Structure 1
């Protein structure tokens, strides 16, 4: 047997020398994930599955020649990583397109031939330099777009980073070449000087020639008063008989010989000067163009990589635009040889296309499709094969989300579209040659598509041969989709594990195919019914029904009944699918609304929290100012009363705002006391009686006990220890203890004795709020002075130092405080303040 010797590169730069059997078909080679070497793709398969027509559609979405060349070279591949990346790149490009951001592909030219010229040392023309500048500018813009959000489109961002930026080359070309493709005067100082002299000399030449034409001396000698160019020289048409009288050089003559074109002698020198300046100008322009070309040649490697990246990007964008136009999806790659197409459409069909659901490789490896002609069997074969090839070429497929496609090392197709309408021996032989090739080369990584297997010969022999072929491919693990009209094959597929029947649906009422594929149900050819619909005489139809095999008639009837039940079940599943899809849409919409609501709630909460902090900050500032005023003023003076009332108002408003925003859950929380402690402080029964002066009460929101001194309308003056405060009447709760009148006057010695009996020389302020701590400290120092206790210890803790600072600020202005200090570290250090008081004498 003859063999073809192929030298096939491995992935890591090694090589593999392989031998493959000689066949009549042509192959395209590409790397394989299964063997690590180049796999083979049958060109016959690409042709019958019309992969080139899909590429032709794709060409319509390319932006430049670079992309068109990439599409021409596009072929199915088998490297899983390459396919995965290619599909993901298209998905990212579609994301950018659908977001309205777009991918600016304008201004790209195929500059590969120009780069070759630069590499060979030839200089580029101005128009070619403009194409280079435009392409490099497009690369720079694309890089900025693709790398803007690398987290959203990581693969395109990586591709964008491979696009070079050549702003110096762009700027230099823009400086030297005008948009009209001309080298500008300012390209160099020498060029500007040459062109300036050229314009002056030319002006002098024109003036001299015009003077000659208008001169009476030459009026009769001149054939026509015009100036013309001959061989780059300025000439005047002179009558032939006056050429000796008209001094000058003859450069040309008319065809009749009546006119000679002469350069006047007096402008010859100017003409020579112009010619010399033109030569110098040409040399300077060439020098400038060569210098620009050398700049490009110096960056030849990076520019070439950039052009290659632009070509790849144009291919990706063409795939993305094609996918958007065809409502395609990214298929999931399957590593176990399974195909599951959901509502797949053939991309080359026009008009209303009925989607099909196809499964293969999950529970069965061979799918045998039966049904009437023109019912969609061949379209199903082509859809499975073509969508597989498209996936392996990195294209999205026209199917619904969730579709899965396997990657095969070989795909074979024997489609009957290429065969003659009349079945003959030669046609059967053509079929067999292709099927024999499939049988010889198929393995567990092969997809085989066989149309009308075993057709074109005696039905019994053809059916037997088809059974043997299908059994052989099944044993090899090949994935097979085949079509047939043979009834025996339906029964064979039913009895063989790993095979499954399928049929294209046929509407008995309209006698028309619906083109839907039903897996699990064998179909009937409906030949007699189709013939009747096409106009066959009724007598012949009836005779055919009578002649139909009595053994097969009940079986065909059973097939039709099963098909009808399957159709009803399919309609039910379709309704359920639509309902689930609508439910999923509702779920997504409500999830989005819930997320938006949560975000809005969080924003409102953040704003409220900020407002609370601001109000509390202002309240603390006002409280501190009021306390400072309280300490400075006389304890019984008018300013004292105003300061106390101001302090009460500020703290009450701050506490009320805090309660409203925090929404406490229980009454005990509203009172900021534990439930059992709150029950001990006041009585519900006692609260029903109106509060009178002299009653013991609990003041909310401070949760401090006091005695009512005076009631004025909805205000009450309350004595809380050493602090007297005016508060709203409705903020008072009667204490559990019985009502009592204002205490009788007692002597200072009696008060001192009473205070001394149960007085502690240490006060704990930790975990208190600032306002509560200062009120407690004020009362404690009054009690200490009356009890005659000094020094005393104020325990405020270290913490952030805020409470210590407030205590020290208070002690600076507090009356009767001699001094204060921190004790040694072993006695508390900065967490304690020791206060020396001026105690009261008994």
Structure 2
């Protein structure tokens, strides 16, 4: 029987130079037969090295983090959050405090899902207007439809905020505070939303006359002129018809001027008239009567004036959006955070997830001083997220609803409250326990091929990253693990657990 040995290294380097030496060793001396995962904690200036960034990117691919992010995508509502999950760009906390904040948001979203079962929060109405904002900022005049898209986004954002505030008022404010804080300080641009709505009828995609006094006057004058022109042309057309000059009265527009139809043989019925066009057969002339020339001139002038005034209104609204570009972008980013929080919550329900406890260096010292067998990493009954996701996706119970599956809410104090549900996640794939004592720097995993070593190491690697990203873990009881500022993985054979089910 062939036996392999894998290394799991938990480091606490005193300086960045140590990390750089480790990274250099990692790149230049990768073992052919062995596999390595390094979890680095409490090192200084962890993001100053381009090498570290490169290694972290490789690790995410090795651990198949983008594939795991894909499992979040069915639970997103906005196109922006969906794009982040499909490209593996789900935000990961850059500090323990940031990761804990993400976990708190997930817990808060779980409470909100329970409270909103009868009337779920609809984030799908949040449109991506980032390109529109860029166009406005670059000096392009926005169209009516683009302005209406911005207005719809602002209205939808305000509605989301009001709904979250409403459920917080109806329950425990503390439960929903992490969600409410996401949108705290956002400018919902209520005045801009109202101004666009006052100037534009978005249901018809038209600029309203009340948008400006000048536009209203122009349209009133144009209406009167068109009534006079229409009355004149009807009289002329009827007289032509009665004289046998046309089969039926015909009023139309050619070359932006109103005219009447007359047979080529009867154009003498319009002395002094101007021929604007001829039918394809040549049998009908489209002529502007002499009496209509002045009225048509006025119509063309007023039409141009109306277009100019409408463009001025669009320019004014565009400039206001350009001035608020940064605030609207900030609001859009915060809405994506809300969507991702609900996506993580729905995913937690789907996998029967448990909120991990991110232990700090100080808490680890207290734990280790209080017990001989104190654990730095204590994960019990965890299933590999990718294998579990693949199993659930292929099962008949796979539903992408925000109201399914059981979950467990947890916090840093270890308190857990079960959420009632009839869905039960299967015990397949086989869960594993990962327990590492405080002070341990290296763990060696040895055993026969296809014995589960790779899956175990990848499970811990993903558990670390998932915790940093605010995701619940598919475990039996509340996991405890340190916040690692860097996770490095070297799996020499690049095997995919989703494809091979090597457990």
TM-score normalised by length of structure 1:
0.43
Structure 2 counterpart of 1:390 = 466
Alignment partner of 1:202 out of 226, 233, 243: 226
Residues 1:403 and 2:412 aligned together: no
| CA distance in 2: counterparts of 1:223 and 1:369, whole angstroms | 97
Equivalent residues of 2:241, 2:248 under 8 A apart: no
- In structure 2, relative to structure 1, the CA distance for the partners of 1:367 and 1:418 (3 Å cut) is closer
| CA distance in 2: counterparts of 1:125 and 1:111, whole angstroms | 13
Structure 1 counterpart of 2:207 = 183
Structure 1 counterpart of 2:128 = 110
Alignment partner of 1:324 out of 349, 353, 371: 349
Structure 1 counterpart of 2:216 = 192
Q: Structure 1 residue 365: deviation in Å?
A: 1.3
- In structure 2, relative to structure 1, the CA distance for the partners of 1:221 and 1:195 (3 Å cut) is same
Q: Structure 1 residue 141: deviation in Å?
A: 3.1
Alignment partner of 2:431 out of 352, 356, 377: 356
Task: Give deviations 1:286-322, integer Å, cap 9, x for gaps.
Answer: 2222333333344344333222222222222222222
Equivalent residues of 2:380, 2:433 under 8 A apart: yes
Q: Secondary structure at the match of 1:411?
A: strand
Q: Secondary structure at the match of 1:314?
A: helix
Equivalent residues of 2:108, 2:176 under 8 A apart: yes
Equivalent residues of 1:185, 1:195 under 8 A apart: yes
- In structure 2, relative to structure 1, the CA distance for the partners of 1:355 and 1:418 (3 Å cut) is closer
Matched ranges for 1:679-758 at <5 A: none
After superposition, the CA RMSD in angstroms is 3.6
| CA distance in 1: counterparts of 2:206 and 2:446, whole angstroms | 69
- In structure 2, relative to structure 1, the CA distance for the partners of 1:270 and 1:369 (3 Å cut) is farther
Q: Which has the higher contact order (CA 8 A, sep 6+)?
A: 2
Matched ranges for 1:265-344 at <5 A: 265-334=290-359, 338=377, 340-344=379-383
Alignment partner of 2:235 out of 211, 216, 225: 211
Q: Secondary structure at the match of 2:316?
A: helix
Q: Structure 1 residue 121: deviation in Å?
A: 3.6
Structure 1 counterpart of 2:184 = 161
Q: Secondary structure at the match of 2:390?
A: coil
Alignment partner of 1:370 out of 448, 458, 462: 448
Residues 1:37 and 2:46 aligned together: yes
Q: Secondary structure at the match of 1:349?
A: helix
Q: Structure 1 residue 51: deviation in Å?
A: 2.0
Q: Structure 1 residue 33: deviation in Å?
A: 4.9
- In structure 2, relative to structure 1, the CA distance for the partners of 1:415 and 1:281 (3 Å cut) is same
Equivalent residues of 1:106, 1:138 under 8 A apart: no
Question: Higher mean Cα deviation, 254-263 or 160-169?
Answer: 254-263
Residues 1:49 and 2:88 aligned together: no
| CA distance in 2: counterparts of 1:223 and 1:262, whole angstroms | 16
Q: Secondary structure at the match of 2:354?
A: coil
Q: Structure 1 residue 129: deviation in Å?
A: 2.1
Equivalent residues of 1:222, 1:236 under 8 A apart: no
Q: Structure 1 residue 48: deviation in Å?
A: 4.2
Q: Secondary structure at the match of 2:381?
A: strand
Task: Give deviations 1:476-519, integer Å, cap 9, x for gaps.
Answer: xxxxxxx9xxxxxxxxxxxxxxxxxxxx9xxxxxxxxxx7xxxx
Structure 2 unaligned runs (5+)? Answer: 1-19, 29-39, 365-375, 396-425
Equivalent residues of 1:163, 1:306 under 8 A apart: yes
Structure 2 counterpart of 1:172 = 195
Task: Give deviations 1:298-351, integer Å, cap 9, x for gaps.
Answer: 434433322222222222222222222332221222457635242424343223
Structure 2 counterpart of 1:58 = 72
Q: Structure 1 residue 113: deviation in Å?
A: 2.3
| CA distance in 1: counterparts of 2:465 and 2:447, whole angstroms | 21
Equivalent residues of 2:92, 2:99 under 8 A apart: no
Q: Structure 1 residue 402: deviation in Å?
A: 1.3
| CA distance in 1: counterparts of 2:164 and 2:148, whole angstroms | 24
Equivalent residues of 1:341, 1:405 under 8 A apart: no
In terms of Rg, which structure is larger? Answer: 1
| CA distance in 1: counterparts of 2:466 and 2:378, whole angstroms | 13
Structure 2 counterpart of 1:124 = 142
Q: Structure 1 residue 407: deviation in Å?
A: 4.0
Matched ranges for 1:255-266 at <5 A: 255-266=280-291
Task: Give deviations 1:427-480, integer Å, cap 9, x for gaps.
Answer: xxxxxxxxxxxxxxxxxxxxxx9xx9xxxxxxxxxxxxxxxxxxxxxxxxxxxx
| CA distance in 1: counterparts of 2:251 and 2:139, whole angstroms | 41
| CA distance in 2: counterparts of 1:201 and 1:341, whole angstroms | 82
Q: Secondary structure at the match of 1:397?
A: coil
Q: Structure 1 residue 356: deviation in Å?
A: 0.6
Matched ranges for 1:457-536 at <5 A: none
Equivalent residues of 2:135, 2:142 under 8 A apart: yes
Equivalent residues of 2:77, 2:123 under 8 A apart: yes
Equivalent residues of 1:237, 1:262 under 8 A apart: yes
Equivalent residues of 2:384, 2:455 under 8 A apart: no
| CA distance in 2: counterparts of 1:33 and 1:241, whole angstroms | 96
- In structure 2, relative to structure 1, the CA distance for the partners of 1:103 and 1:33 (3 Å cut) is farther
Q: Secondary structure at the match of 2:183?
A: helix
- In structure 2, relative to structure 1, the CA distance for the partners of 1:237 and 1:217 (3 Å cut) is closer
